[in-house]
Amino acid sequence: MNPRRSYVAGTGLFILLGFVALAYLATQTTSLVNYQGGPNYQVTAEFLNVGGLKDRAPVKLAGVRVGTVSSIVLDQRSMEAKVSMTISKRYNEIPEDSFAKIMTSGLLGDQFVSISPGGSREVLKNNSQIINTQSALQLEDLIGKFLTSSGSSKSGG
């Protein structure tokens, strides 16, 4: 390789390295890791209170990630939060009477939707709704209840 060509090759190598680094950062260290491509279906659920649930939060069944939250909107008729979830087609045998809960990972961690399977033979299909839901556990409510209940027991005794 003559010296005139060698820096061209070196420059090419440098540009290649830069793009490889950028591609690595973009795909391996961001939320794109959790992107589930391929076929999927939509399921909705209505919650009284979603707490701190956000878009793109994971949907888990038995601790395994099966999908993501795609949108959270307020349903004005029922005054409940309507959560749409995108679930991978691979998991197409989730019973229709399954139970959706909003849980928190750890004490201060992010919130996610947890699905507990029911016993029905019917399975969730595209655009079907999960009827059985449980709202996010509000730490403030819990502490409030604890304080008032301990206060009342004292006054009673």
Partner 1 sequence: MKRLNKHSAIVDACYEIGATGWFLVVLLVAIPRSLRYLRETIRQIWFVGAKSLIIIMISGLFVGMVLSLQLYYTLSIFGGTSALGTVVALSLYRELGPVVTALLFAGRAGTSITAEIGLMRATDQLSAMELMAVDPIAFVATPRFLAGLISMPLLVAVFNMMGLFGGHLVGVNWLGIDNGTFWSNMTSNVNVWTDVINGEWKAFVFGAAISLIAVFQGYNAPPTSEGVANATTRTVVWASIVILALDFVMTAFLM
> For partner 1, which residue of 1, 10, 83, 85 counts as binding (CB under 8 A)?
10
Which residues neighbour 68 within 8 Å (Cβ) at sequence distance 6 or greater? 34, 36, 56, 57, 58, 59, 85, 86
> For partner 1, which residue of 1, 2, 3, 31 counts as binding (CB under 8 A)?
31
The number of angstroms, rounded, from the C-alpha of 3 to the middle of its chain's C-alpha atoms is 55
> For partner 1, which residue of 11, 132, 148, 149 counts as binding (CB under 8 A)?
11
> For partner 1, which residue of 33, 62, 64, 79 counts as binding (CB under 8 A)?
33
State phi, psi for 4 to the nearest 5 degrees.
-70, -30
First to last CA, the chain: 94
The one segment of 27-35, 80-88, 135-143, 145-153 that binds partner 1 by CB under 8 A:
27-35
Check residue 58 for interaction with partner 1 (CB under 8 A): yes
What single-letter amino acid sits at 26? A
Closer to partner 1 by CB, 17 or 74: give it.
Answer: 17
Within a 13 Å sphere around the CA of 88, how many CA atoms are in the beta-carbon half? 15
Q: Are 71 and 50 in contact (CB under 8 A)?
A: no
What single-letter amino acid sits at 127? N
Pairing of strands 40-47, 128-130: parallel
Check residue 22 for interaction with partner 1 (CB under 8 A): yes
Q: Which residues in 86-125 contact partner 1 (CB under 8 A)?
A: 106, 108, 110
Q: How far is the CB of 119 from partner 1 (least distance, A)?
A: 32
Q: How many residues does the chain have?
A: 157
Q: How far is the CB of 3 from partner 1 (least distance, A)?
A: 11
Binding site for partner 1 (CB under 8 A): 7-8, 10-11, 13-15, 17-19, 21-22, 24-34, 58, 106, 108, 110
